[in-house]
Structures are given as C-alpha cells and as structure tokens.
Amino acid sequence: MKVAAAAPPARRLALAATVLVTVAAGLALSGVVSATGRGFPAPTPRAECGPGARPEGDVQGRVPLADHESGRAARGYLCNTRQVAHQGTTGGFKVLRYTDRLGHTCAFYDASQLLPVSTPFQSSEGTGVTVLAMDDPRRPRVTTSLTTPTMLSPHESLLLNERRGLLAAVLGNQFASVGVLEIYDVQTDCRAPRLLSRTTEAVLGHESGWAPDGRTFYAASSGGQTFAAIDVSDPTAPERLFTQIGVNYHGMRLSDDGRTLF
C-alpha cells in the first residue's frame, strides 16, 4: 500500500484557504437557491388568530417566562381552535388517533406521566393507556385501559403505525428501564386493543420510532445509551436485528421511504 507524503506547511495552508473559500461561496449561494432547489425552506408564517383566541404573548409555540410567573400560562393558549370535549385530568406524553378497518375512530393516551411519582395523583382515574371511542368527538367514551406492564409506564415510547394498525410501546421512564416491548392490534377493533406480544427485544426503554411500512420498530434509551432495531414483520414474534451501545438518540422519526432515521 502506498501512502502519500504529507504536504508542506505552506501548501497545506493554501489548500485550507481554498477549502474555506469554497465553503463560504457555497454558503453564500445557498441563500439564493430557488424554492424548488435544496435550500432551506422559508420559516412558517405567523398564524393570524381569529375571535376567541388566547394566543401566546411571545413567539408562537413558546410559553414566555412572564406567563409562568404571572399565572397566565395556567389558562392555556388557543389559536383558531376551540375545545369541543374534555376527558381526564392527568396525561403523559402522547395522544394518538386511529380509524380501524370497521370505521371506528379511537384515541389513545398514556395517563401515567412519571411513575411512581405521579401515582398519588392518578388514583381516581387509574393508570396505563386510556382507550377512547371517538366516533362522536363531542362525547369521547372510555372503552378500556391498557394496564399491562409496559402500558403502565410507556414514557415517550407509545407510538402507532397506521398502515398496519399496530400500537406499540416500551417500558420506560425519564432515565431508562428494562426494554419490555408490547405490541397491540388495533386494526381489528380499536376500541378493544388485543395484545399480540411481549418481549425484551428493545434492550432498554425511553423513546421509539416506527418504519412507515410497520415492519421495523426502533427503541432507544437516553439514560442507558442504547438503540435497537426490531423486526416486527410478525408482530407476535418480534426479533432484534441490530443493537448499538453508547449512543443518545431521542425523538426518532423516519423518512417516508423508511431509509433515513432522524
């Protein structure tokens, strides 16, 4: 194997200067790329809120510190929306909506925020994942609660794949937990999810991601610094395909073709 000799210092400086000039030119040009090119998209315009709105006093989507200090934040914020119904007094991290093959529309939300810290505040409503019949959005109706081990504390991992009608989660908390993966069928009747499998293929729990085709589930633990890709082609028998240690992945989502994980 031939190894090229190192360039003289002066030549290295010249090369570095050339690279910097090239990069700077590229950055300058990136600002004039057309909307159909590969430049950065324009920022989302500020929403114009209609009658009855309770908008933020600062940047849209951000609660200003002054609102926390004054108590204004407790009233909530509305912009071009209105509440038509309300269910429950406790909630965790996710609310998911799905319409099954029979046309029933359901909602799923994790009632457990941070177990066991939040347990005393949930005694009246119970824990786990609440299942709501939402055919009439004005009258949501609790049909059942999923109280299997993982669903008692899914943390941020509760996620639905609409293509296959699979609801999945990994046992987790704010740090990490034993990666017990549970998969439910909600396609048959979303009002009565059916447990298909429970395994430890996820390694450790905290966050998750679904491939668009619903055949691969991804699990990650920020505290435990693990990442796992799990084959769920057969949701009754998940099988881990890949494990990575020493990484901190969070909020995982995939591209439409399933080839890129963000």
User: In 3-state terms, what secondary structure has residue 97?
Assistant: strand
Domain 89-245 - what CATH class? mainly beta
Determine the Cα–Cα distance for residues 249 and 219; give it in Å rounded to an integer.
Answer: 9
pLDDT (tens digit, 9 = 90+) per residue, 87-105? 887 778 899 999 999 999 9
Determine the Cα–Cα distance for residues 155 and 67; give it in Å rounded to an integer.
Answer: 27
Determine the Cα–Cα distance for residues 44 and 54; give it in Å rounded to an integer.
Answer: 20
pTM of the model as a whole: 0.76
Averaged pLDDT score across all residues of the chain = 83
Q: Locate all alpha helices (DSSP H) within the chain, ordered by sequence.
A: 9-30, 65-70, 149-152
pLDDT exceeds 50 at position 1: no
Determine the Cα–Cα distance for residues 10 and 92; give it in Å rounded to an integer.
Answer: 60
| Of the listed ranges 10-14, 121-125, 134-138, 153-157, the one predicted with least confidence | 10-14
Give the domain ranges of the chain.
Answer: 89-245
pLDDT at position 5: 42
pLDDT at position 13: 37
pLDDT at position 25: 39
pLDDT at position 124: 55
Give how far Cα 147 sits from Cα of 80, 125, 131, 144, 204, Å.
Answer: 36, 12, 11, 9, 19
| Of the listed ranges 33-37, 52-56, 140-144, 226-230, the one predicted with least confidence | 33-37
pLDDT at position 10: 42
